[in-house]
Structure 1
Amino acid sequence: MYILMIILLLASIVAGISLGPSAVGIKQIIPTIFGNGSFKEEFILFSIRMPRVFVLTLAGMALALSGAILQTLTKNDLADPGIIGINAGAGVAITVFYLFVDASSKYYAYQLPAVGFLGAIITAGLIFIFTTDKRNGIQPVKLVLMGVGIASALSGLMVIMISGAKNEDVQFITKWLSGNIWGADWPFILALLPWLIVAIPVLLWKQKSMNLLVLDETVAKGLGVSINRDRILLLVIAVALAGSAVSVVGSISFIGLIAPHIAKQLVGSKHQNFLLLSPIIGAAILVFADTIGRIIYTETIPAGIIVAIIGAPYFLYLLRKSI
C-alpha cells in the first residue's frame, strides 16, 4: 500500500510540474532537468513549477502529520489544525508580521514559519485550556466547537487589521485566507524542510506511546506512559508542523482531517502502520488540488478552496457520526 501511495504522489508531482497554462510536456521534463531544454522550459520548470510542487509536497506532509497527532491527542476523529483554529492563530501572527516587518529581508522566508508557530502555539494552548476538564480530560466535541469559534474570531481580527492597510497588503492576506499558494520559491523549501526533519524522528520514537494515548488515561499510565510530558511534546510538534506549513501555503484546512483517515482505512489504526502513510497521502492531495486549481479555469483557483470542496462533505459526514 505504501508503494501504491508513493506512486500516486509521484504521479501528482509529475502532473503538477507538466500541466498548466505554460505547459512543459512530460517528454520535455527529463531532458530539461539534464540541461537540454529551451530557456523557456528551464525557466518554467526550475523557477516556477518545481519549487511550487516541492513546497506543496512538504506542506501537505506537515499538515497531514499535524492532523494525525491532533486526532491522537484529542481522541477525536474531527481534529484538524484548520478546523480547531490553529491555522487561524498562525494567520494572525503572520498578518501582524507581514504588515509591520520589511518583506525584503533576506531571512524573511525563514522567519515566517517561526512566526506562524508562535501564533499557532498560543492559540492551541488557549483552546486546550478551555476544552480540558480536570476530571474527564479533553472534551472532543467541545474542542471542535471551541476551535471553530476561535478560528472565526481570529479570521475577523485579521480582516480588521487589514481594513486600513495598503491595497497590496489586503490582497496578500485575502489570498492567504483562501489558501492561495504564495511561498512557491526555493528558499521556502529550506524553510519548511527542517521542521519535518526534526518532527518525523520524534514521531517514530513516540509511536508506541501514541498508541497508548488513545486508551483510557489510567491504562496508559499503568503501562508506563508519561501522559502530560508526551502530550505537551506531541502538541508542540503538531502545532509547529501546522504553523510552518500554513505560513507558506496559506490557510488550508481538511488535509489533516482527510489524510490520516484514508491511511487508517488502508493499513489500520496502529500508528506504526498509518503514521508515515498519512503525509504521503496529504502531499498527494495538496499537489493534486493545486494542479486542478491551475488547469480547470483561466484564473488559478486557490488550492485551499479545492481542498475545502473535497474535505467539507467528509467533515460533515464525520461530525454526524460523532454526535
Structure 2
Amino acid sequence: MTITEASRRKKAAVVLFALAALIVITFIVSMNTGHMRLSPLDVLRTLIGLGTDKNELVLFEFRLPRIVISVLIGAGFALSGAILQSVSRNPLADPGLLGINSGANLMIVLYISFIHLDVTNSVLTRPVIAFIGSFAAAAVIYGLSFKRHHGVLPTRMVLAGVAIAQGINALILILTLRINPEEYQQIQVWMAGSISGTSWTYVLAFLPWFIVLVPFIVFKARVLNVMNLGDQLATGLGSPVGKDRLLLLAAAVGLAGACTAVGGGISFVGLIGPHLARRLVGPNHQQLIPASALAGGLIVMAADTISRNLGDFPTGLVVAVIGAPYFLYLLSKSR
C-alpha cells in the first residue's frame, strides 16, 4: 500500500467517524425536540425506564420509530442513488429524478384506490407492491436508454427517466380523481414525503429489505470500482459486467421501492447523499458506499427534525428545499 493510498484511507475513516458522530448528535437532538419538548434528563430517565407514562408514549411510540425510519430510508435512498450514478456513469442519476420512485407511487396508488385500503394499514405489503412498480419503471427506462454496442447512455437515461416520471405522475393524478376525499388526502400527504405517524410496523416492514440488500451492495463495492473503468476493461479483467449491472440495478430499485413505500416521495436524497460522500471520501466505492449511507441518513433525519419543529409538514418538502438548488448547481457544472 502506497503512502497516498494509506492517507486516503485514513481520511475516509475520519470522515466516516465524523458522519456517524453527527448522526448520533442529531439523533439525540431529535429525541428532545418536537411538539412536546423533552429535556435531556427526561429522555435519559425514559430510556432507562424511569420516565412518566406520557413521556414513554411520546418517545417510544411516536418519536423513536419516526427517527429510526428516517435514518434507514435516508441511507436507502442514498445507496440507491450511488449505485445508479455508478452503473450508468451519470452524476445526475437519482431514483426520484429517473422515475423509479414514480413507478412505486403508481403501484401503491393503484393498490390503495382499487382495494380501498388505508395508507397506514397496508404498510406491511407496500414494499413488495412498490418494488413491482419500481422494477417496471426501471426496466422501461433501461430499455429506452440502452443502445447496442454503446451500453447505457447517460443522457438518454435522464431524458427517458424524466419523461417516464412525468407520464406516471399524470396517470397518478387521473387515478386520484376517482377516489374519495379522505383517501385522496392520505395519498397526497404520503406522496409529498411525510413520515409522520410512523410506527414500529414501518420499521419492521422496511428492515428485511435493508438487511438483505445493503450487505449485498457493500459486498459489490469492489465490482463498482471495476465497472467505473469501462465495460471493455472491466470485461478484460474478468468481471461479468452485464450480470453485475443487472444485479446492482435490481438492488438499487429494491431499496428505492422499499424506501418510497414507507417514506413516500422523498426526492433528491439519492442525488445529494452520494455527491456529498464523493466530495468527502473520493470515488472508491469501498468508502463511498458507507459514506453515502451515513450522509443520506443524516440528511433525512435532520430534515425530519426541522419539519417537526416548524409545523410537522412533510419531510420531503424540506429535503426538496435543500435538494432543488443543489441539483441546479450540479446541472450547471455538468457537461
Which residue pairs with 1:309 in the alignment? 321
| 2:23 aligned with 1:12 | no
Among 129, 138, 157, the residue aligned to 2:152: 138
Among 27, 34, 42, the residue aligned to 2:41: 27
Counterpart residue identity of residue 314, structure 1: Y
Which residue pairs with 1:190 in the alignment? 204
| Structure 1 residue 107, shift from structure 2 partner | 8.2
Among 251, 268, 279, the residue aligned to 2:265: 251
Distance, in Å, in 1 between the alignment partners of 2:48 and 2:22 is 24
Secondary structure of the equivalent of 2:123?
Answer: helix
Counterpart residue identity of residue 321, structure 2: I
Which residue pairs with 1:210 in the alignment? 224
Counterpart residue identity of residue 305, structure 1: L
Distance, in Å, in 2 between the alignment partners of 1:182 and 1:249 is 9
Counterpart residue identity of residue 311, structure 1: G
Among 214, 221, 239, the residue aligned to 1:200: 214
Which residue pairs with 2:3 in the alignment? none
| Structure 1 residue 204, shift from structure 2 partner | 2.2
Distance, in Å, in 2 between the alignment partners of 1:303 and 1:202 is 28
Which residue pairs with 1:41 in the alignment? 55
Counterpart residue identity of residue 197, structure 1: I
Which residue pairs with 2:9 in the alignment? none
Written as runs of structure 1 = structure 2, the 5 A alignment for 1:1-323 is 1-101=15-115, 103=117, 108-182=122-196, 184-296=198-310, 299-323=311-335
| Structure 1 residue 182, shift from structure 2 partner | 4.6
Distance, in Å, in 2 between the alignment partners of 1:103 and 1:37 is 36
Distance, in Å, in 2 between the alignment partners of 1:259 and 1:25 is 31
Higher mean C-alpha deviation, range 68-77 or range 200-209 = 200-209
Higher mean C-alpha deviation, range 35-44 or range 117-126 = 35-44
Secondary structure of the equivalent of 1:109?
Answer: coil
C-alpha deviations, 1:70-123, integer Å up to 9, x for none?
011110110110011000000000111112336479983221111111100000
Distance, in Å, in 2 between the alignment partners of 1:159 and 1:181 is 21
Distance, in Å, in 1 between the alignment partners of 2:92 and 2:192 is 21
C-alpha deviations, 1:109-157, integer Å up to 9, x for none?
2211111111000000000100111121111122112211211111111
- In structure 2, runs of 5+ residues without a counterpart are 1-14
Residues 66, 238 of structure 1: 8 Å contact kept:
yes
Residues 86, 239 of structure 1: 8 Å contact kept:
yes
Residues 190, 264 of structure 2: 8 Å contact kept:
yes
Residues 196, 312 of structure 2: 8 Å contact kept:
no
Higher mean C-alpha deviation, range 93-102 or range 111-120 = 93-102
Distance, in Å, in 1 between the alignment partners of 2:116 and 2:187 is 16
RMSD: 1.6
Distance, in Å, in 1 between the alignment partners of 2:119 and 2:161 is 33
Distance, in Å, in 1 between the alignment partners of 2:127 and 2:149 is 35
TM-score normalised over the length of structure 1: 0.96
Higher mean C-alpha deviation, range 45-54 or range 143-152 = 143-152
Residues 255, 282 of structure 1: 8 Å contact kept:
yes
Distance change >3 Å, CA 86–CA 106, structure 1 → 2: closer
Aligned residues: 321
Secondary structure of the equivalent of 1:251?
Answer: coil
Secondary structure of the equivalent of 1:165?
Answer: coil
C-alpha deviations, 1:20-79, integer Å up to 9, x for none?
111122221111012211121111001100011111111111101100110111101101
Distance change >3 Å, CA 149–CA 267, structure 1 → 2: same
Secondary structure of the equivalent of 1:108?
Answer: coil
C-alpha deviations, 1:256-302, integer Å up to 9, x for none?
11111111111111001111111111011001001111212xx3221
Counterpart residue identity of residue 198, structure 2: A
Distance, in Å, in 1 between the alignment partners of 2:106 and 2:77 is 18
Residues 183, 249 of structure 1: 8 Å contact kept:
no
- In structure 1, runs of 5+ residues without a counterpart are none
Secondary structure of the equivalent of 2:90?
Answer: coil
Over 4 Å off, 4+ runs: 104-107
Residues 268, 319 of structure 2: 8 Å contact kept:
yes
